[in-house]
Structure 1
Amino acid sequence: MFFALFGGLFYTLGLPGYGCLPCLFLGLLLFLYALEDKGPRQGFYTGFSFGMSHFFLLLWWLAPTINQYGRLPLPLTFPVVALLALYLSLYPALWACVYTYFLKKTPRIVLATLGGGLWGLTEWMRGTLFTGFPWGVLASSLHDFPLLIQLADLLSIYGISSLLFLSVLLIWGFIIHLRNKSWKESLYLFLGFWTVFLGAVYYGKVKMNEYDVPPDICAVAVQGAVPQSIKWDPGVMEETLNKYFSLTKEGCFERDCDNKTRLVVWPETAVTTYYQDDSVVQERLQEFSRENGVFLLFGSLSYEFSTPGSRPQYFNSAYLIGPNGDLLGRYDKRHLVPFGEYMPLGPFSELAKHYLPTAGDFDTGVRGAAIRATDGLTVGILICFESIFPGLARDAVNHGANILAVMTNDAWFGRTPAPYQHEAMSVFRAVETRRWVIRSANTGVSSIIAPDGTRIETTEIFVPAVITAKVGLLTDKSPYVRYGDYGFFLFVLLLCVPVLPFTACRQGLTL
C-alpha cells in the first residue's frame, strides 16, 4: 500500500495546477510496481489506496471552499472531501482489480493494450455515471502539449488518456523484461512504445496544419477579477459594470481589434441582477453594444414560471446582445453542479441542505446549446462546470456553433490549483470539436484557445485583464462531433480484443 499511496500523490503532482509531468510518470510506475504479484482482491485494495491519495490531493481545495462559502466548519469539510474521494477511488480500484486478474495470464504487450483501454473506459465511466465528474483525467496532464492530443478530435479526451496510460504500461513492461533479461520481449515493448508515440506525433503534425484559416471575427474575453466576497453586493454593481465596460473598450479599440465583427465574452453572472427585470441595466448594456458595435455575451440569473401561479424556476443563464442593441437569445445552464447549484438524491438532500445552507436551488436549462448571432456566427455556450464535459461542447457544435464561449466564475477556488485544472479542460474542448474557445473567467484563468489546442492568449489569476484574438469560424465537423463516443468505444474494443485468446486458453504465459 505504501507504494500505491505515494504513487497517487506523485501522479497528482503531474496534473494541471501542479504541472510536474515527470512526477506523473513516476506516480504511475509506483502504482504499477505496487500491483506486481497481487491478485484481484489485493489489486482492488491497492487501486483504492492509490485513488484515495490521488483524489484527496487533487480536490483538497474543496475543503476551504466549502468552509468559506458553504458555512460548514473547517474540521467537517475534510470528511466531505474524503467521502467524494472514497467514491472516485472505486474507479482506479476497479481498473486494478481487472488488471491484476490478467497479470499472470497475459503477455505484457497485450496487458498494456488491455490496461490502456480499460483506464480510459473507467475515466469515461467516472465522467458519465451519477451526473459525472471527469475532473483531473489523465489526459489533462498534456494540456501544454497540443501536438500530442490531436487524436482527441477522433477519440475524445478519454482516448488520449487510454493512449497515455498504454504508453506507461509499455514502459513498465519494458522495465520488467529488461530486469529479467528477456531481451526479445523488451524489444517488442520498446518498439510498441515508439509506435504509439510517433503515431500520435505524426497525426498531430498533420492536424495542426489544417486549421490555420483567415480570421473572421475579433474575440474579446474580459476578466473583471471581482472578489467573491463583494460580487453580489448591490452597492458594487455599478462599479463592476463600469469595470467591464472599460476593459471591453480597451480590448476592442486599444489592441488592434479592427475587424467589423467583435464578439465580447464576459464571465458567468457578470451582471449580478436579474437582467430580465432590471430596465436600467438592460438600457446600459444595449446602449454599450450599440455605441461600440459589439456582440456582447454575458452571464446573469434568470427565472420563469412553467404555469401561472407555480413556483418560479431559476436558471444560471447567458444572454447575447447584438450590435444594434437587440437581445438575440438566452442560454440556460443544462448541467448543474450537484450540492452546489441543486440538491440531488431526494431525502438525503434535505440532510445535506442542513449542512450546506448556501447551496443553490437552480433548475436545469432546456434552451438550445447555441445562439445564432448572424448568418455567419453562432455561439455555443458552456457555463462553468459544463466545460469539463465533452458531450456538451459536441452538442453545441451539432446545433450549429462555429465558436465556443466558456463563461465561468472560479473565484470560489481562491489561489489553489483548481482554476488551472478547470481551464485545462477547455483545451480539449477546442481539439475535440475543432472550434475556437473563448474562455472568460471572473478571476481567471481566462484564455483564447485555437482549434488545435494552442493557447493564443491567457491571463494570470485575480487581476483585471482583457485578452483578444482574431479568430476563424470553422464549419466542418470533427469525427468526434459527428459520431460522439463511438470512436472511443471502438478504440477501447480494439485495445481489449487481443486479451481474449489468452483468456480462452487460460495459458500461463509470461512473455
Structure 2
Amino acid sequence: MATVAVSSNGVKVAAAKQPGRGGFLLAVAGGLLLAASFPALDLEPLAWVGFVPLLVAARGRRPRAAFALGWTGGLVFYLATVYWVAYTITHYTAVPLLLAIGILVLMASILACYHGAFLGGLRWLEERGVPAVWIAPALWVALEWLRSWFFIGFPWATLGYSQYRHHALVQMVEVTGVYGISALLVFFNAVAATVLAARGVRERGVFPALLVLTALVVAVPLAGKWRAAAIARRPPAGRLRVAIAQGNIEQDHKWDPAYQGETMARYRDLTGAAAASRPELVVWPETATPFFFQEPGPLRDDVLELAERHHVHLLFGSPAARQTRGGELEELNRAYLVSPEGREVATYDKIQLVPFGEYVPFERALFFVDRIVEAIGRVAPGLVPTVFHLPAADFGVLICYEGVFPALTRRFVDGGADFLVNITNDAWYGRTSAPYQHLAQVTFRAVENRVPLVRSANTGISAFIDPDGRIRWQGPLYETAWHVDEVSWPGVRTFYTRFGDVFAWACALVTLAAVGWGTRRGIV
C-alpha cells in the first residue's frame, strides 16, 4: 500500500518512496561534497550545496528511509574526513590494519547517525506539517551541538568550520559560535533543495525563505566585514612578543631515551635563536620534554637554566603523574610555565582528553584496543582551566584536541585570559589532512573570544592567529622552525565569551518545540 507524502504546506505531492539506487548515489555524492569542503581540499563553496543531494533524495520518503539515506551520506562524509584515525591506530598501536579500518568504520557508523537523525527527523516533522526549510537549520545545529558532548564528545568537522577562510562570514561566531555558520549553510542548502524540488519559487513558502536567505547571505558578510574593521581600528589593550619553537621530533623517537639528548638540544637551539629577537614568552609544543619535568634532576635543571639564561618566560608541555588515594598511578598531560628567574610558577592539566588517544571509551567492550598514547598509568583529566599570569598579559593554554571545544575555550577568556596558546603534537596524524583540519578549527576560538591565538605544534602546523581569525603566519609541516611575532588584543568581551552557546541552546529548544508540536498534531 502506498503512503501519501505531504509537503511542508500540507499539499499531497507524491507517494512515499523507498531508498533506491538513485537515492543511494545522491547520498554518497552529498557525503563526498561535504567532505571536500574541509581541509586539506578546502573546497569550501561545496558546503553551500553539499546537503542538496541528500535533501533531494529524502524528499517524499518515509522517515526511516530518509534516516538510511542520511546515515549513508554521513558514513561517507566521516570516512572521507577522519580517515586518519586508521592511520594513527596502525602506526602507533599493535592493532593490525584491517582491525584499525574496522574501528574507523565503527566510529564513522556511530557518527553518521547524526546525519541520519537530521534527514529522518526532517521528514518526520514534514509529515506533521512543520516546514522543513525553516526547521532544518535548528535541527542540524541541535544535533551538532549534541555531538559535541554526547557519547564520547566529538565536535570534529562541525559544518561551520569549512568556512574558516571566509573571514567576513566567520565574524558572526563572536555571537553564535561556529553553530551560527552551520545554521546558515544548512538554510542555504534547504532553500536550494526546495527550489529544485519545486522547480521554481511558486510553491507556497519558498519565496519568503528565499527572501530571508538572500538578506542573510548579503547582510552577514557585510556586517562581519564592518565588525572586523572596527576591531582593527581599536587601540590595542595590550601587546606581547611571543616566540614559538617547532621541534619536529618524530613520534617514533619522542620517548626513546636514546634521542632524549638530541630532542632537548634541538629545543635549546630553537629557543636561543628565537631569544635573539627578544620575545617575552617562548612556547614549546605539547609534551615537548621527553621526561617528567616534575621530577628533580639535571634534565629539569637544564630547562630552568635555559629560561634564566635567555631571560624569558618559557611555556612547554610535559607528562606528569599523580597518585590517587587508592594508590593508583594516574598520568596527566600538563603545561608548565617557567619564569625568567628559572622558577616553575604555574601549571595546567589538560581537561578534555582524546578518545582512543589518551583513553579508550567503553574499555570493557573495546578491551582489544590500546591507548595510542603511552602512559605509566590511567590518563586522567585536569579539573581547573588555569589562567597563566605574565607581567604584561594573562593567557590560557589549550592542549591539543581542546582547541576544538569552544565551550571549554571560553572559560579561559572568561577567567581573564588576554590571549590563547594552543600547544599540540600532531605528529600522530602523519601527512594526512588532520593537521590542516585541526588548525582550521582552532582559528574559530580566536574570533569567538576576540583574542589572538598562538599555536606551537611539534611537527606543525604552528601559527599566529589574529582576533579576526586570519592566520597571520603559518609554519611548515614536518620541518624544524621558530618564529617570533607580536600579538595584540582589543580588550573586547564578546557575547560568546559571556554567555556561551546560547544560539545552540535556542536551536535545541526550537527543535524540541517542533517535535512536541508534531507529536501532538500527528501526520497531516
**TM-score of the aligned structures, taking structure 2 as reference length:** 0.88
Q: 1:159 to 1:23 in 2, by over 3 A?
A: closer
Which residue, 427, 443, 448 being the options, matches 1:427? 443
Deviations 1:133-174 (A, max 9, x none): 011110110111121111211111122211221122222223
How far apart are 1:42 and its partner, in Å? 0.8
Q: Match for 1:339: what amino acid?
A: F
Q: Which moved more, 1:129-138 or 1:484-493?
A: 484-493
* Equivalent residue number for residue 197 of structure 1: 217
**2:141·2:507 contact (CA, 8 Å) conserved in 1?**
no
- Count of aligned positions: 498
Q: Match for 2:213: what amino acid?
A: F
* Equivalent residue number for residue 14 of structure 2: none
- Find the aligned partners of 1:39 and 1:90 in 2 and give their Cα distance: 16
Query: 2:316 aligned with 1:298, yes or no?
Result: yes
Q: Match for 1:87: what amino acid?
A: I
Q: Match for 1:225: what amino acid?
A: N
- Find the aligned partners of 2:300 and 2:57 in 1 and give their Cα distance: 60
1:384-463 to structure 2, matched below 5 A, reads 384-463=400-479
SS across alignment from 1:122: helix
SS across alignment from 2:282: strand
- Find the aligned partners of 2:369 and 2:195 in 1 and give their Cα distance: 49
- Find the aligned partners of 1:496 and 1:169 in 2 and give their Cα distance: 20
SS across alignment from 1:129: coil
Q: 1:210 to 1:222 in 2, by over 3 A?
A: farther
Q: Match for 1:472: what amino acid?
A: S
Q: 1:184 to 1:193 in 2, by over 3 A?
A: same
Structure 2: any 5+ residue segments left out of the alignment? 1-23
Q: Which moved more, 1:84-93 or 1:220-229?
A: 220-229
1:79-98 to structure 2, matched below 5 A, reads 79-98=102-121
- Find the aligned partners of 1:144 and 1:24 in 2 and give their Cα distance: 13
Q: 1:191 to 1:504 in 2, by over 3 A?
A: farther
Q: 1:497 to 1:311 in 2, by over 3 A?
A: closer
**1:335·1:364 contact (CA, 8 Å) conserved in 2?**
no
Q: 1:163 to 1:387 in 2, by over 3 A?
A: same
Q: Which moved more, 1:280-289 or 1:470-479?
A: 470-479
Which residue, 270, 273, 284 being the options, matches 1:266? 284
How far apart are 1:105 and its partner, in Å? 5.7
**2:358·2:373 contact (CA, 8 Å) conserved in 1?**
no
**TM-score of the aligned structures, taking structure 1 as reference length:** 0.90
* Equivalent residue number for residue 63 of structure 1: 86
Q: Match for 2:347: what amino acid?
A: R
How far apart are 1:203 and its partner, in Å? 2.8
How far apart are 1:478 and its partner, in Å? 1.5
Let me know the Cα RMSD of the aligned residues: 2.6
* Equivalent residue number for residue 340 of structure 2: 323
- Find the aligned partners of 1:53 and 1:319 in 2 and give their Cα distance: 41
- Find the aligned partners of 1:64 and 1:359 in 2 and give their Cα distance: 20
SS across alignment from 2:309: helix
Which residue, 45, 52, 58 being the options, matches 2:68? 45
- Find the aligned partners of 1:149 and 1:130 in 2 and give their Cα distance: 28
- Find the aligned partners of 1:133 and 1:99 in 2 and give their Cα distance: 23
* Equivalent residue number for residue 228 of structure 2: 208
* Equivalent residue number for residue 181 of structure 2: 160
**1:447·1:459 contact (CA, 8 Å) conserved in 2?**
yes
* Equivalent residue number for residue 21 of structure 2: none
Deviations 1:188-236 (A, max 9, x none): 3432222111231133123212433435101222211111111112222
* Equivalent residue number for residue 231 of structure 1: 254
Q: Match for 1:457: what amino acid?
A: W
Query: 2:342 aligned with 1:314, yes or no?
Result: no
Structure 1: any 5+ residue segments left out of the alignment? none
Q: Which moved more, 1:132-141 or 1:179-188?
A: 179-188
- Find the aligned partners of 2:316 and 2:322 in 1 and give their Cα distance: 19
* Equivalent residue number for residue 241 of structure 1: 264
How far apart are 1:26 and its partner, in Å? 4.1
SS across alignment from 1:320: strand
- Find the aligned partners of 2:50 and 2:262 in 1 and give their Cα distance: 47
**1:154·1:432 contact (CA, 8 Å) conserved in 2?**
yes
**1:267·1:298 contact (CA, 8 Å) conserved in 2?**
yes
Deviations 1:90-123 (A, max 9, x none): 111111111112345658xx42231011111111
